[in-house]
Structure 1
């Protein structure tokens, strides 16, 4: 059990940014991102024995984190929620780059979960082949979907 625990801790240390990035693309609310991150860690731990030692570790991590976030998003949509509001925005920043990142994040969050996963992996500079392997679709399907997703993002308003 200690070997498994040590391997898991090393795996998480080396890939924590990847997991966080996936979670952040599904929510900007810090508490919700933390919940998604924790659920992803739980699912990674549960699936550790299924990971192939010679396989694509980063791809496996993306797949588990994406599936976790997509599943929780579906559950969230089926439950009514009440949003609490604050008078201040802790994420507010006046610089132009942050405003552009916020705009992109808002637009991406409007996409369907599967399309969100594709664009996230593309933004992480993952090859089309790897994206296809992670999501279980063909490379040409990745290419076609990315063109459609980018067009969809361009047409969205900033609301």
Structure 2
């Protein structure tokens, strides 16, 4: 049973790993930090996977775990994240490298997003992923009305940052 669970988890993670890469880009500033955060999110997803009930889509659950892990690890700049070596786990994930050298516009946008607070970053990320306000509110644990109001405020902040 454990091998079957592990196989299912790895398959789902490989299918949705771009979610984790995008979150890592929003909360890190260099490739090493990106790798460390990806590894930590993967470990937290694996630890939490037995509690995944399937009430929500796997990707929604994954967003929530990944965002919570990123926010927890990077909210307090003085706190160094404790990571575990992924090699100690028996499963292997084929990681797709994310090439950002040709994406100058994305770099500018991500730089602007990085100036936002952690919750606003998460809100923008989910919005850019095409999530509706109902899904955003469910993932972030806020009301749908609050998600809409916050998004309007964040859009204005981003316009101000990009026009400065």
Q: Shorter-chain TM-score: what band?
A: 0.7 to 0.9
Q: Give secondary structure in 1 for the equivalent of 2:56.
A: coil
Q: Distance in 2 between matches of 1:121 and 1:91?
A: 20
Q: Structure 1: which 4+ aligned runs deviate by more than 3 Å?
A: 90-93
Residue in 2 that maps onto 1:115: 120
Residue in 1 that maps onto 2:66: 65
Q: Distance in 2 between matches of 1:143 and 1:53?
A: 26
Greater CA drift, 47-56 or 35-44 = 47-56
Question: Alignment RMSD, CA only?
Answer: 2.0
Greater CA drift, 35-44 or 2-11 = 2-11
Query: Any conservation in 2 of the 1:128–1:139 contact (CA below 8 Å)?
Result: yes
Shift of 1:132: 0.4
Shift of 1:7: 1.4
What is the aligned residue count?
Answer: 145
Match of 2:106 among 76, 98, 101: 101
For structure 2, which runs of at least 5 residues remain unmatched after alignment?
A: 81-98
Residues 6-59 of structure 1: CA deviation (Å, up to 9, x unaligned) = 111111111111111111111241111111110000000000011013432111
Once the two structures are superposed, the pairs formed by residues 14-93 of structure 1 within 5 Å of their partners are 14-75=15-76, 77-79=77-79
Question: TM-score under structure 1 normalisation?
Answer: 0.83
Query: Any conservation in 1 of the 2:26–2:110 contact (CA below 8 Å)?
Result: yes
Q: Distance in 1 between matches of 2:100 and 2:9?
A: 32
For structure 1, which runs of at least 5 residues remain unmatched after alignment?
A: 81-89
User: Are positions 1:9 and 2:10 aligned together?
Assistant: yes
Match of 1:137 among 125, 135, 142: 142
Q: Distance in 2 between matches of 1:57 and 1:91?
A: 26
